[in-house]
């Protein structure tokens, strides 16, 4: 998968070329010369260049909420101003849960910038019992466009972020993380008797059996 900067760079170049084409500044073989452009082409070029200008700040970490469901998640961005500020200040962005310790799959999976939590339900349960807080379960996916849209448009709300960080222990269960092999002791068997050996299959099976739901995002 492309990281966020690469994806946005491609879009910026493509839509910039489209804008120049609409203005008649870029021609292809067989195109006739434009002595003047119509109001429609001018309007479309304005819309196109406006979209380009909207995307450019995303190269430096702007959330781009209007298209957040279509671009890669912020965790794939190398230059993220918010994350750099948090790291340089010596924190994780969540002072309430900085003592989580080693967590399964945290080297591969990530929560959005400013949030901290687990990727294994049993670990989350143990920590929640320790700190006496309820668990917020986020059934999500690496390739889930609706998940990214919710994270960038709802989770970033100041009050929502405060509640999730301060009042809950968060656990993100990736339903499509089938690129992660489970340790043998973590295998589960579904209702059909099939042994599930990958994290995504295990999480999706849990969501379906426990909550009768297989769509993401799904919050419990």
Contact 219, 139 (CB under 8 A): yes
3-state secondary structure 60-120: HCCCCHHHCCCCCCHHHCCCCHHHHHHHHCCCCCCHHHCCCCCCCCCCCCCCCCCCCEECC
Contact 118, 185 (CB under 8 A): no
Would you say residue 84 lies in a domain?
A: no
Dihedral sign computed on CA atoms, order 37, 42, 43, 48? positive
The domain containing residue 49 runs over which residues? 4-76
Cα–Cα dist 167/174, whole Å: 22
Q: Are residues 99 and 179 in the same domain?
A: yes
| C-alpha distances out from residue 103 to 1, 70, 94, Å | 24, 29, 16
Q: Are residues 169 and 134 in the same domain?
A: yes
Q: Would the pTM of this model clear 0.75, i.e. be above it?
A: no
- Going by C-alpha positions, the residue among 153, 113, 111 that lies closest to residue 136 is 111
Strand order across the beta sheet in which 218-219 lies: 117-118, 169-174, 135-140, 218-219
pLDDT given for residue 88 in this prediction? 60
Going residue by residue through the chain (220 aa), what tens digit of pLDDT does each one get?
A: 678 889 999 999 999 999 999 998 888 887 787 788 889 999 999 999 999 999 999 888 887 888 877 888 777 777 666 666 655 655 544 545 556 778 899 888 988 878 899 999 999 999 999 999 999 999 999 888 888 888 888 888 889 999 999 999 999 999 999 999 999 999 999 888 899 999 999 999 999 999 999 999 999 9
Q: Are residues 116 and 71 in the same domain?
A: no
Q: Are residues 187 and 111 in the same domain?
A: yes
């Amino acid at each position: 998968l492309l990281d966020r900067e690469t994806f946005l760079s491609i879009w910026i170049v493509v839509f910039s070329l489209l804008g120049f084409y609409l203005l008649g500044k870029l021609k292809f073989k067989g195109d006739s010369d434009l002595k003047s452009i119509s109001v429609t082409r001018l309007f479309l070029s304005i819309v196109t260049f406006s979209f380009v200008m909207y995307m450019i700040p995303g190269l430096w970490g702007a959330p781009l909420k209007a298209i957040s469901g279509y671009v890669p998640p912020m965790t794939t961005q190398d230059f993220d101003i918010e994350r750099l500020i948090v790291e340089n200040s010596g924190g994780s962005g969540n002072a309430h849960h900085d003592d989580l310790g080693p967590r399964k799959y945290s080297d591969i999976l990530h929560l959005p910038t400013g949030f901290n939590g687990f990727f294994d339900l049993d670990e989350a349960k143990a920590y929640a019992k320790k700190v006496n807080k309820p668990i917020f379960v986020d059934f999500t996916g690496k390739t889930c466009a609706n998940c990214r849209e919710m994270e960038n448009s709802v989770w970033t709300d100041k009050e929502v972020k405060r509640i999730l960080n301060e009042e809950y222990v968060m656990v993100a269960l990736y339903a499509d993380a089938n690129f992660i092999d489970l340790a043998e002791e973590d295998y589960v068997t579904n209702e059909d008797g099939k042994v599930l050996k990958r994290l995504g299959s295990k999480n999706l099976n849990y969501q379906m059996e426990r909550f009768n739901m297989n769509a993401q995002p799904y919050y419990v």
